[in-house]
Chains A and B, each alone.
Chain A
C-alpha cells in the first residue's frame, strides 16, 4: 500500500482528488477539437489511463493515511466544497477508472463501426464528460455537487445513447425516455437536497450527518430521505424505477452499453449508499425501517421478477439489461440487511457485476462488430465462428449465474452468508430461485452460441472470423478477472469490507 501511495510525485499525489476529475474535464474539451476520431480516441485512452493511475494512488493514500479531505479553492468545509475520499469511494473510483480504461481500449474498432466519421471526435468528448461526471459523483463530499455531477454524467449519457441511432432509430426514443425519467429522478434528488439544506443549513455531507445526529430528525428530513431515495433509485435502476434501462442498453452503441452497464448505475447506487449510511444514520428508525421494508423486499422482488422478464427476451442486449436490473436487486438486498457483512456483500457483488457485465456486453459487441447481430437466435453458431469471444462470453455468463470457480459464486456466497446471519431464510430462497432463472436465460444464450450450427451463406457455412485484437484484449482481461478473483478473492473482499466498515463505523 505504501508503494501505491508513493508512486506518483508528491505534487501530483497531493492534488490527486482534484486532478482525477479535472483531467477528464479538460481532455473532453481537447477531444472535441481533435480532427478525427482516432486522435480523439488516443486522448480518451491517455485520460482513462491517467485516471486509473490516480485512483490507484488514492487507494494507497487512503489505506495508509485514512480519509483524505481536499478543499476546493482552499475554502474550508463546511462552507467550501470538499472532495472527500474514504475507502468506499476509492473502491468506486478504482472500478470506474479501470473499467473505463478497458472500455476505452475496446472502443476504437467498435466506435469506428457504429458512429459516423465526422462525429467520432465529439462522441469521445461526450464520453469524457460522462466520465468526469461519474468520477465527480463518486469523489465529492458536497450534496449539491453530487446533483451537478450526476446531471453532467446523465446529460452526456443521453447523447451517447442517442448516437446509436445510426444503427437503429429506436435509440432516439430510448434516449428520450431515459431523459424524461432521468431528469425527474435528478429533480427529485435536488428536492431532497433542498429539504436537507432546510433541515441543517449546510450542504456538506459530513456536516449534515453531524447536525442531523445532534438535532434529531423531523418531518423535513424524512421527506428529504424519501425524495433522495426515489431520485437516486431512478438513476440506479432500482426495480420498479428501471423502465428506462432495457431500451437504453439495447439500442446504445456497444461501447456505451459496456461502459454504462459496468459503471453508471453503480455510481448512482454508491450515491444512495453514501446518503443512507453517511448522511442519514442506519440506526435512525425510519432509515432502518426502509432497509427491511423497502430495500430488502423490493430487492428480492427485483431479483425474481426482472430475471423472469429476462428469460423471455428476444434481443440479447435487452436480456442482459433485465439481468442488470435483477443484479441491482442483489445489491439492494445486501444493503437492506443493514449489517456490515450485508453491505460488504452487496458492494462485492457490485464490483463483480461490473466485471461480468463488462465482459458480456463487450462480447456481444464483438459479435455485432463482425456479423451485425443482436437477436438471440442470430447468435447461433458463434461458438464456431468466433470461438475466442464466445469463450469470454461463456465465462462471464457462468459467472452471472454464480457457478463455482467464478466471482459470481463468491459474491452470492457472501450474500447468502450475510442473509443467514440475520436469519433471512426467505432471502436465501429468493437468491436460489433467481440464480435458477439466471441459469435459464444464460442457457438460452449459451445454447444458441454453442449448440446451434452457424447460418449458411449462399450454401456455405459462415467462415470463422477473429474479432480485432483491441476488442479481444480488454474482453479477455475482464473474463479472466472473473476467474482470477475467485481464486484470489482477498483484494476485492478486503476492498468491499473496508468500504462497508468506512461507512458503518465512521458514521
Chain B
C-alpha cells in the first residue's frame, strides 16, 4: 500500500489541491473567495500535466546536435518536423508511441523529458488568467450595482427584485 502511494507521490498534492479548490468553490458564499478556489482547482490541473511530462533521468528537451549552420540537425525532417509532404504523415504516425523516446532517438541514447505538457499548460495558464480577469471584472461590477459580494445577500436582493416587480 505504502509502495503504491510512494510510486505515485506526485498525485497526492495534486489531489489535495484539487479537493481544496473544489471545496472552496462549493462552500464559500464570497464571490472573490470562490474565484480563489477556482484558481487553486485549475492550478492542481496544471501540476497534473507538468508531472506527467517528467521522464526519470531525462535531460531538458533541447537538441544536443543543434548547430545554426546545419539547421535543425539531420534527423529533424525525418520526424515530420516542418515537412509538408504528405508522405511524412504515415512516417510520423508510425513513431508516435512514446513522445519522449521519439525525440530522443535522433541523438542516440539521450533521453529527454517530454516538453509537450508544459507547452499545453502554458496555454491553459493563459486561459486561466483570462477567466480570472473576466471573473474579477464581473465581481467589481456586481459590487458596484449590488453593494455586496456575498452570495446570500445577492440572492436576497434578486428575490426582492423579483417579488417587488411582480406587484
Contact = CB atoms under 8 A, between A and B. Distances in A.
Touch between chains A and B, by CB atoms below 8 Å: yes
A80 B79 CA distance: 11
Contacts of A147: 124, 127
Nearest to B140: A172
Contact of A176 (B31, B42, B99, B127): B31
27 contacts: A76-B89, A76-B91, A77-B89, A79-B81, A79-B92, A80-B80, A144-B123, A151-B127, A151-B130, A155-B127, A155-B131, A170-B158, A180-B25, A180-B34, A180-B35, A183-B131, A184-B22, A186-B127, A190-B124, A191-B48, A194-B45, A194-B52, A197-B52, A201-B96, A201-B97, A203-B116, A314-B166
Interface string A449-479: 0000000000000000000000000000000
B31 A190 contact: no
Shortest 8 CB-CB distances between A and B: which pairs?
Answer: A74-B84, A76-B89, A169-B145, A151-B127, A76-B80, A176-B138, A76-B92, A172-B142
Contact of A173 (B83, B86, B131, B142): B142
A159 B134 contact: yes
B98 interface: yes
B63 to A, nearest CB: 15
Contacts of A79: 79-81, 92, 96
B38 interface: yes
A332 B141 CA distance: 37
A77 B92 contact: yes
A78 B42 contact: no
A184 B41 contact: yes
B61 interface: no
Given A170-B158, A201-B96, A75 B81 contact: yes
Interface in A268-285: none
Interface in B88-114: 88-89, 91-93, 96-99
A501 interface: no
Contacts of A162: 138, 141
Given A155-B131, A179-B131, A197-B52, A207 B93 contact: yes
A47 interface: no
Q: Which of B35, B92, B96, B161 has the most CB of A within 10 A?
A: B96
Nearest to B88: A76
Interface string A171-199: 01101100110011011001100100110
A170 B158 CA distance: 7
A147 B120 CA distance: 10
A148 B92 CA distance: 24
B117 interface: yes
The number of chain B residues touching the other chain, given as a range, is 35 or more
Contacts of B35: 180
Interface of B is mostly: helix
A471 B35 CA distance: 38
Given A194-B49, A194-B52, A198-B52, A207 B96 contact: yes
A201 B117 CA distance: 11
B138 A179 contact: yes
Interface string A48-80: 000000000000000000000001001111111
Interface string A74-109: 111111100000000000000000000000000000
Contacts of B42: 183, 187
B72 interface: no
Nearest to A198: B52
Contact of B134 (A74, A76, A158, A191): A158
A169 to B, nearest CB: 4
Nearest to A207: B96
A144 B31 CA distance: 29
A74 B87 CA distance: 12
Nearest to A144: B120
A180 B88 CA distance: 43
Contacts of A201: 96-99
B96 A170 contact: no
Contact of B138 (A75, A78, A158): A158
Given A78-B96, A162-B138, A211-B96, 4 more contacts: A79-B81, A176-B139, A187-B41, A191-B45
A194 B48 contact: yes
A80 B41 CA distance: 29
A36 B48 CA distance: 45
Nearest to B53: A197
B66 interface: no
Contacts of B91: 76
B10 to A, nearest CB: 12
A165 interface: yes
B154 interface: yes
B32 to A, nearest CB: 11
Given A183-B38, A191-B48, A314-B166, A165 B141 contact: yes
